[in-house]
Amino acid sequence: MQTSIATVSLAGSLAEKLRAAAAAGFDAVEVFEPDLVASPLAPAQVRALAGDLGVRIALFQPFRDPDHVDPGVRARTVQRLHRKCEVVRELGCDLLLVCSSVHPGAVREDGELAAQLRALAEVAAGHGVRLAYEALAWGTHVADYRHAARVVAAADHPALGTCVDSFHVLSRGDDPAGVAALEKVFFYQVADAPALGMDLLPLSRHHRLFPGQGGFDLAGFHRAVLASGYDGPVSLEVFNDLYRQADPGRTAVDALRSLRHLADLAEPGTLPEAPSPTGWAFVEVAASEEGSPAVTGLLGALGFARTGTHRRGEVDLWTNGGVRVVVNGRPTRARAQLSSLGLQAEAPHALAQRSRELLAAVVHRPVGTGEAEIPSLVAPDGTWVQFCGRAPDWSEDFLPVPGREPAAGPRLREVDHVALPQPFAGFDSAGLFLTAVLGLCGGELSEIAAPDGLVRSRAHCSADGAIRIALEVGPTSGRLRGRPLASGHVAFRTDDALAAAAAFAAAGGEALEVPENYYADLGARFDLDAGFLDRLRALHVLYDRDEAGGELLHFFSRALSREFFVEVLERRGGYRGFGVANTPVRLAAQRRAPGE
Amino acid sequence: MQTSIATVSLAGSLAEKLRAAAAAGFDAVEVFEPDLVASPLAPAQVRALAGDLGVRIALFQPFRDPDHVDPGVRARTVQRLHRKCEVVRELGCDLLLVCSSVHPGAVREDGELAAQLRALAEVAAGHGVRLAYEALAWGTHVADYRHAARVVAAADHPALGTCVDSFHVLSRGDDPAGVAALEKVFFYQVADAPALGMDLLPLSRHHRLFPGQGGFDLAGFHRAVLASGYDGPVSLEVFNDLYRQADPGRTAVDALRSLRHLADLAEPGTLPEAPSPTGWAFVEVAASEEGSPAVTGLLGALGFARTGTHRRGEVDLWTNGGVRVVVNGRPTRARAQLSSLGLQAEAPHALAQRSRELLAAVVHRPVGTGEAEIPSLVAPDGTWVQFCGRAPDWSEDFLPVPGREPAAGPRLREVDHVALPQPFAGFDSAGLFLTAVLGLCGGELSEIAAPDGLVRSRAHCSADGAIRIALEVGPTSGRLRGRPLASGHVAFRTDDALAAAAAFAAAGGEALEVPENYYADLGARFDLDAGFLDRLRALHVLYDRDEAGGELLHFFSRALSREFFVEVLERRGGYRGFGVANTPVRLAAQRRAPGE
């Protein structure tokens, strides 16, 4: 697969965009005309720069409004095409994207339209340039890719073909099956998009996403394009307000990751195969010297015991039943923060190799003599992800602490989920990492009204639910009001949240205080036994019920820092959610007790 | 008019919201249930706090999904209503907002729906509570305010009336004429909204605006509600992602400003009458000691002469024909920035009085003996706005500088417009200030793709076009990439931009360099004489043409600071725009030469 990206998908000057695309590893770029027009580099200099960087310029775009009922306008269009074909050639490429017309003077009759396009193709051919005609989803008369293909067939000129763009097909709800039957596909653009309930034009201009970040079935689309016989570049054309302002180097890495993942989804085996992680080995909390007593105090109250200490010191293993927490005593930006996720993997090294192909930052922790080598990745937000195999066993790197009895706190079953806060522009990037690299599946987006703005959250789960990672992101300008609005946390599952809350309190644990108004509302919303409601209230346990009658009982520790707290939850009757209905209450309570 | 605001319109905790509403001067609030549920204050404490602050709690909301085909659900709804009516009473109010049902179990038949609502009204009446039934624009069966009114009439219970909300009527495109004929309007909510081309539910939840900030005809709607005989609170219910995260004190001021302006638009004379400003008296540039030589050098190259110096020093008057620029040598955050707009006003003191009623920050500059008192406002972005009457003449405060001949630069006609950069969350606030306080009319929103993100711009003009102020705002997280993306500037109009550019260059002025690719594209897009195009290119003059054939020629000085530069423009053939098509090129060029 030849990979390509449109310069409009990246922030910066044209030169910066080319450098970012090349650095990520793209084979080619599409040059977006406004990027060239605003650039001090002449087309020949752009060509030379691309050559130096080792990226090909696959296409220049867009040439708008090719047809017109007015002969005067047509004559000017021909002149315009001459000029633009010269630019195409100066750029060292031979392909120009032509969009279906969007003005009221567009030609309605297909025969006439074909004749006009044929005339333009003849002009282009004179320059050694080919035209790729694309149906914009909001084109005046030509909005359907099949329609565009019919007109191209009727025009019957060797320099005229079509461009198919997944956005323009799938956003309209068109059946992509006909793509496989297309002839003369000169170019293929691919973009994803979320279902935002908005008109296609603003959706296209502002909210396109890289494959895997939105809701389209792009694997099927991709297969259809390949079935048509197309073997040119697969090019990402992603108009996105956030990518326009993000670091282009990072965006380009995301972009190429999404393409490689798409190719593997469409044709499994394109990437090295490796089974996805299957469950939690551990979670690691980094605690500063000041934060350490609070972390170990909290773990103790939750019934964890310090059962191991790392051969090389500074790192302890705490266990409660099958749940293992690694406490890493190293300098951190907060008193405590979630620093690493240890995931069980059947073939850690194969998974690391696959991750590397997906442009993940693969690192190797320093390994002492006799220690297990744990292939590790750094996620886009800086959290480490470590793949733990059965042998060698990572936990054998910890020397047992003799004679430690489990503490008096509650018995925990397993890690239920972790939540990772993301920088504003990093939410979709992190989601792609979880889906492409870790094989998780993203759920619905939740929007939570917090006192200082809307928080968005999306859970990503493995197929069997054994791994659940929620991403959270604060509002646009969270810094406006000076408070971080999302913090990391780990949720432990128990079989009896009320007993766990009682044991936690008895062991000196401090739960996040839940306001009385919450319980009054709970009593109004659900038909709860008065004694049960009283117990929830007394223990600061929150409650939710889903439509199928499944129930969630959960409580939170007071935050240890602005970046870390712990949740304990019980799922009854197959409850699958995360208690998002209670999140506004939790966030408001944490604002009153934000941690240090 | 009793003024009210829903707590959901403001950021913060419930207590913070109440304090912000009270501080701005609202008479009443609606308490939004999730704000109460997340609050540690019991309803009686909320009531006491509101009493202490002098704001009335006018309504509690929302009570959702009142009707249901399932008798079991109905029975629970009655229990829920009992609980919520207790809360209403504890809050010290007697009105509960009931929304039309949005679930599939909603009652379809009006007679049955009326019977169910009547039964709920009877329950509420037992608590001394009244219900205001509102048709949500996306209600399952009841989505039209006339439908809601018919059901309420059929229910015929004294404790049941309607709530009309401008959003739910106007967003659907419903004819608001029937509002005037409504009986039993128990509550009136008002909100504006932009035309974003999106579904009503996300539009409602995220993008509502205060009156005057969006596209609805709210003056007409307001008159219709008053014509119905309604004399209760006029309440702002504005779900807006930015207001959710902005300083609630500032938002509340904007909110009350919008209501007072709405009342005056609906019934002119509600506010003290005062003619709007009629034109430019001067623009003031603040220049730091280091920036001052660059500012005066630029003015000199533009043909300005220093013709006056202020009686109390540190401030000079520079003139070019009828254009006057005040240069204020005081410490600034940038080397130079636009600091004050002097507007001609027929009755400056009446205008200041009207502005004060619109909650503008009215200040008085220190006035020395014999100096003109200039009533002044501080706009939301910190820019001063000064109202200059005919007598006393503000310019007489400047002592003439003898023997100063005009410099060799171009002759300028007038201030064409100024552009003011806004903080991300301040764009709509500043727009409201310009429309409500200065009587300008906001135009279309432009979105400009800059190298580091999307910049939005909206021009606000007086009816005759004599005053034009453009607001500009950078992308969401402009700070991500570390560069400010919008800067202030003043544009001067000339009758001959090419001659002006030549004179500017000859006088040593440095124009912003425009890339060659821009002129190549211009030649392709427009049928321009080759000699004319060469002159544009040689002088770094940009060009635009509108659909009616009007033309714009304009050039920019190199930026003096990251916050200030100057534009010189010529309008030919009635061109009315601002050359937005050229803004991406200008922004990219400024990124290469950002000023110090």
Query: What DSSP string runs through B107-150?
Result: --SHHHHHHHHHHHHHHHHHTT-EEEEE--TT-SS--SHHHHHH
CATH architecture of A414-592: Roll (3.10)
DSSP structure string for A164-223: EEHHHHHTTT--GGGGGG---EEEEEE-B----SB-HHHHHHHB-B-TTSSS--HHHHHH
How close is the nearest chain B Cα to the Cα of A75, in Å?
A: 11
**Tell me: the pLDDT tens digits for A415-445?**
999 999 888 888 999 999 999 999 999 999 9
**Tell me: the pLDDT tens digits for A492-518?**
999 999 999 999 999 999 999 999 999
**Beta carbons of A66 and A58 less than 8 angstroms apart:** no
Report the pLDDT value the prediction gives residue B314, as an integer from 0 to 100.
87
**A42 → closest Cβ in B452, B517, B589:** B517
| B532 contacts: CB under 8 Å, gap ≥ 6 | none
State which amino acid sits at residue B555: F
**Beta carbons of B354 and B276 less than 8 angstroms apart:** no
Q: How far apart are CA B510 and CA B512, in angstroms?
A: 7
Task: Return mean pLDDT, chain B.
Answer: 93
Cβ distance B245 to A42 less than 8 Å, yes or no, reads no
**A454 → closest Cβ in B12, B39, B241:** B241
**Tell me: the pLDDT tens digits for B78-123?**
999 999 999 999 999 999 999 999 999 999 999 999 999 999 999 9
Report the pLDDT value the prediction gives residue B478, as an integer from 0 to 100.
47
Q: Is the pLDDT of residue A531 over 90?
A: yes
Report the pLDDT value the prediction gives residue B481, as an integer from 0 to 100.
43
Q: How far apart are CA A382 and CA A339, in angstroms?
A: 8
Cβ distance A245 to B477 less than 8 Å, yes or no, reads yes
B246 and chain A: CB distance < 8 Å anywhere?
yes
Cβ distance A38 to B80 less than 8 Å, yes or no, reads no
B34 and chain A: CB distance < 8 Å anywhere?
yes
Cβ distance B477 to A449 less than 8 Å, yes or no, reads no
**Beta carbons of A460 and A434 less than 8 angstroms apart:** yes
Report the pLDDT value the prediction gives residue A216, as an integer from 0 to 100.
96
Report the pLDDT value the prediction gives residue A561, as an integer from 0 to 100.
82
Mean pLDDT of all residues in B520-545: 97
How close is the nearest chain A Cα to the Cα of B504, in Å?
A: 23
Q: How far apart are CA B33 and CA A545, in angstroms?
A: 19
**Tell me: the pLDDT tens digits for A359-399?**
999 987 666 777 778 899 999 999 999 999 987 788 888 99
Mean pLDDT of all residues in B237-265: 95
A245 and chain B: CB distance < 8 Å anywhere?
yes
* Strand arrangement of the beta sheet that strand A336-344 belongs to: A361-364, A375-378, A384-388, A336-344, A279-287, A323-328, A315-320, A305-310, A398-400
**A198 → closest Cβ in B196, B241, B521:** B196
How close is the nearest chain B Cα to the Cα of A432, in Å?
A: 21
Which residues does chain A have within 8 Å of residue B11's beta carbon, measured at their own beta carbons? 451-453, 481
Cβ distance A38 to B453 less than 8 Å, yes or no, reads no
Report the pLDDT value the prediction gives residue A405, as an integer from 0 to 100.
66
**A34 → closest Cβ in B197, B425, B584:** B584
Q: Is the pLDDT of residue A459 over 50?
A: yes
Q: Is the pLDDT of residue B549 over 80?
A: yes
B390 and chain A: CB distance < 8 Å anywhere?
no
Cβ distance B36 to A517 less than 8 Å, yes or no, reads yes
A279-400 and A414-592 share one fold: yes
Cβ distance A480 to B247 less than 8 Å, yes or no, reads yes
**A244 → closest Cβ in B205, B453, B516:** B453
**Tell me: the pLDDT tens digits for B270-297?**
999 999 999 999 999 999 988 999 999 9
Percent of chain B with pLDDT over 90: 83
Mean pLDDT of all residues in A25-54: 98
**A244 → closest Cβ in B34, B449, B589:** B449
A523 and chain B: CB distance < 8 Å anywhere?
yes
CATH code for B279-400? 3.10.180.10
Q: What is the chain B residue with the closest CA to A14?
A: B451
Six token digits for residue A52: 């130096």
Report the pLDDT value the prediction gives residue A396, as an integer from 0 to 100.
86
Q: How far apart are CA B136 and CA B143, in angstroms?
A: 5
**Tell me: the pLDDT tens digits for B393-430?**
888 889 988 876 666 667 899 999 999 988 888 899 99
Report the pLDDT value the prediction gives residue A485, as an integer from 0 to 100.
58
Cβ distance B198 to A201 less than 8 Å, yes or no, reads no
Largest Cα separation within chain A, whole Å, is 93
Which residues does chain A have within 8 Å of residue B43's beta carbon, measured at their own beta carbons? 517
**A452 → closest Cβ in B11, B43, B518:** B11
Cβ distance A245 to B591 less than 8 Å, yes or no, reads no
How close is the nearest chain A Cα to the Cα of B586, in Å?
A: 8
Nearest to A182 by CA among A139, A218, A226, A220: A226
Q: How far apart are CA A204 and CA B149, in angstroms?
A: 40
Q: What is the chain B residue with the closest CA to A479?
A: B245
Q: What is the chain B residue with the closest CA to A76?
A: B527
How close is the nearest chain B Cα to the Cα of A155, in Å?
A: 25
A592 and chain B: CB distance < 8 Å anywhere?
yes
Cβ distance B527 to A591 less than 8 Å, yes or no, reads no
**Beta carbons of A399 and A349 less than 8 angstroms apart:** no
Cβ distance B588 to A202 less than 8 Å, yes or no, reads no
**A524 → closest Cβ in B83, B197, B477:** B83
How close is the nearest chain B Cα to the Cα of A466, in Å?
A: 32
B1 and chain A: CB distance < 8 Å anywhere?
no
Q: What is the chain B residue with the closest CA to A586?
A: B38
Report the pLDDT value the prediction gives residue B335, as an integer from 0 to 100.
85
**Tell me: the pLDDT tens digits for B448-500?**
998 888 899 999 999 999 999 999 988 765 444 444 556 789 999 999 999 99
Report the pLDDT value the prediction gives residue B582, as an integer from 0 to 100.
97
Instruction: Select from B8, B31, B456, B476 the residue whose CB has the most chain A CBs within 10 Å, as the one to mutate to test that interface.
Output: B476
**Of A331 and A320, more confident:** A320
Cβ distance A80 to B585 less than 8 Å, yes or no, reads no
Work out the pLDDT band at B317, boundaries 50, 70, 90: very high
Q: How far apart are CA A557 and CA A489, in angstroms?
A: 10
3-state secondary structure of B292: helix
**A475 → closest Cβ in B202, B241, B518:** B241
| A426 contacts: CB under 8 Å, gap ≥ 6 | A380, A381, A473
Report the pLDDT value the prediction gives residue A407, as an integer from 0 to 100.
62
Burial B559-594 (b: 16+ CB within 10 A, else e): bbbbbbbbbbbbbeeebebbbbbbbbbbbbbbbeee
Q: Which of B64-78, B373-387, B482-496, B557-571 bottoms out in mean pLDDT, i.e. has the lowest?
A: B482-496
How many interface pairs between A and B have CB atoms less than 8 angstroms apart? Answer: 187
B454 and chain A: CB distance < 8 Å anywhere?
yes
Cβ distance A40 to B515 less than 8 Å, yes or no, reads yes
Interface subset of A 41-60, CB within 8 angstroms of B: 41-43
Report the pLDDT value the prediction gives residue A596, as an integer from 0 to 100.
67
Known binding residues of A for Mg(2+)? 417, 489, 567
Cβ distance A197 to B201 less than 8 Å, yes or no, reads yes
**Beta carbons of B386 and B343 less than 8 angstroms apart:** yes
**A524 → closest Cβ in B84, B476, B584:** B84
Cβ distance B241 to A477 less than 8 Å, yes or no, reads no
How close is the nearest chain A Cα to the Cα of B87, in Å?
A: 9
Report the pLDDT value the prediction gives residue B480, as an integer from 0 to 100.
40
3-state secondary structure of B73: helix
Which residues does chain B have within 8 Å of residue A45's beta carbon, measured at their own beta carbons? none
Which residues does chain B have within 8 Å of residue A80's beta carbon, measured at their own beta carbons? 524-525
Q: Is the pLDDT of residue B262 over 90?
A: yes
CATH code for A3-266? 3.20.20.150
Report the pLDDT value the prediction gives residue B486, as an integer from 0 to 100.
61
A103 and chain B: CB distance < 8 Å anywhere?
no
Domain spans, chain B: 3-266, 279-400, 414-592
Long-range contacts at A463-468 (CB < 8 A, ≥ 24 apart): A465/A576, A466/A278, A466/A279, A466/A280, A467/A277, A467/A278, A467/A279, A467/A280, A467/A343, A467/A438, A467/A440, A468/A416, A468/A417, A468/A418, A468/A578
